[in-house]
A and B are shown apart, each in its own frame.
Chain A
Amino acid sequence: MDLLDHMQRTAFLGPEFLTWLWWKSEKNDGEFQIESDEIGPIELYFDDRLVVGSQLVDAQQNHFKGGQPATSLEARTALKLGKQAGEAKLRVVVGSQEWSFIFKATPFQVASVKLPAVLSKEDDARFTERMFLLEQLDRIMRGLYHQFLHMRLSDAWDTEVEKIRVWVAGESQD
């Protein structure tokens, strides 16, 4: 199987990752720990835009805008119908810095990124600062994705899925 086949065959991991982040963010009040000396503790919240759908069945996509769609009854119903998060506006907070962006799960892309304040005025310094902040966001998202993958590809995944199913069903956990 070549790289393109692998990319197409495992595209479902994107929405699974974003749905896992949704559950985890809600369960831990947005707190995550990235296992990297450079980053450490972060907060991640779902903001005012969310798209849910299903890659496995030909189902309608639901687009939610405004308010807090991640906690809405409509979005939860979509999860109960077997849909997963395909796209979401996320906020990541590290110390006093905050990134806001749209994460598109299937192509694993970020869009409309708002960086923490860039202080430099000169072209060169401004460029270096923007790139540093973009790469920092990339390290955070890849760090979270690898946390997900380590769980997803291990024997502990079945237990994790049970907990997510309890959350989807709307039953209390722990």
Chain B
Amino acid sequence: MGAFQGGLTFRRYTVQGELPKDFRDKFQQGITKNAFQPIDPAGEEERALGWADAIFPLETDLTPERYLFEDYLVLALRVDALSVPGSLLKLYTEQECRRVMAEHNKETLNRYEKAEAKERVKLELRRRLLPGIKVIDMVWNLTDGSVRFFASADKTNQEFMELFEATFDLQLVPDSPFTAALYGGPVLSEALKERLERVEPTVFVDADVMAAAMTEV
């Protein structure tokens, strides 16, 4: 969420380097290659991640008309998760074990038979469950090289950076007091840049004022 509606909490990045001359073609290839692919319920995968349409995230056939808005490239990072809740798996495995015991007229099942029953149940439940879908917008201003990713969690941002760099073959630098001094704002002189690299912390209180405050609290 973020680009078109909803909350505006994001991390800002700066793209390093110039856009390649044939960036539209290259980007299309990268986006197609890294577009979201649904989880196969018959497989083992519990999580899938890739690009989707920011307006309608179930659409993953991504063409420039869907992701280019004037000077902006807008995509959604879609993350699907398909995991069978442990309590559900336990209940239905017990049901399956009872069914097998009744069918074969057995008092108990050995560990291999129980494991097989559990796998069958897990597969069946995966087929019946819908994945949870999380969608986070990414907006790239192609003119000034700024990128906004509308999530603040470290893990999600790390996954976003990796996918971005794999898709566009360009590096991202996150905002910080150091990088905000260098990118995206007024230009610092070379002399100030050198001072920035050597700057030391300042204390905004005199020692006697601090000592007096410490005795008060």
Contacts and interface: CB of A to CB of B under 8 A. Distances in A.
SS class of chain A's interface: helix, strand, loop or mixed?
Answer: helix
Contact of A109 (B70, B175, B188, B212): B175
A143 B69 contact: no
Interface in B4-28: 4-5, 7-12
Interface string A134-157: 110011001101100110111001
A161 B204 contact: yes
A10 interface: yes
A68 interface: no
Chain B: interface size category: 35 or more
A7 B176 contact: yes
Contacts of B181: 13, 145-146, 149
B91 interface: no
B55 interface: yes
B195 A153 contact: yes
Nearest to A14: B177
A124 interface: yes
B180 A145 contact: yes
A112 B8 contact: yes
A113 B8 contact: yes
A115 B3 contact: no
B206 A13 contact: no
A131 interface: yes
A134 B8 contact: yes
B122 interface: no
Given A81-B214, A113-B8, A130 B3 contact: yes
Which of B148, B179, B202 has its CB near the most chain A CB atoms (within 10 A)? B202
Interface residues of A, number: 61
A168 B204 contact: yes
A11 B69 contact: no
B199 A1 contact: no
Nearest to A166: B206
Contacts of A130: 3-4, 8
A65 interface: no
A80 to B, nearest CB: 4
Contacts of B8: 101, 112-115, 130, 134
B152 A142 contact: no
B146 interface: yes
A94 interface: no
B138 interface: no
Interface string A80-105: 11101000000000000000010001
Given A165-B206, A169-B206, 9 more contacts: A19-B204, A84-B204, A107-B11, A115-B8, A143-B186, A146-B188, A152-B199, A153-B199, A168-B204
Interface of A: 1, 3, 6-7, 9-14, 16-17, 19, 35-36, 55-56, 77, 79-82, 84, 101, 105-115, 123-124, 126-128, 130-131, 134-135, 138-139, 142-143, 145-146, 149-150, 152-154, 157, 161, 164-165, 168-169
Interface of B: 3-5, 7-12, 55, 69-70, 72, 74, 139, 141, 146, 148, 152, 173-181, 184-186, 188, 192, 195-197, 199, 201-206, 209-210, 212-214, 216-217
25 contacts: A7-B176, A12-B177, A13-B199, A81-B214, A81-B217, A82-B204, A82-B205, A84-B204, A106-B177, A109-B12, A109-B152, A110-B10, A111-B9, A112-B9, A123-B55, A128-B70, A134-B148, A138-B12, A142-B184, A145-B180, A146-B188, A154-B192, A161-B204, A165-B206, A168-B204
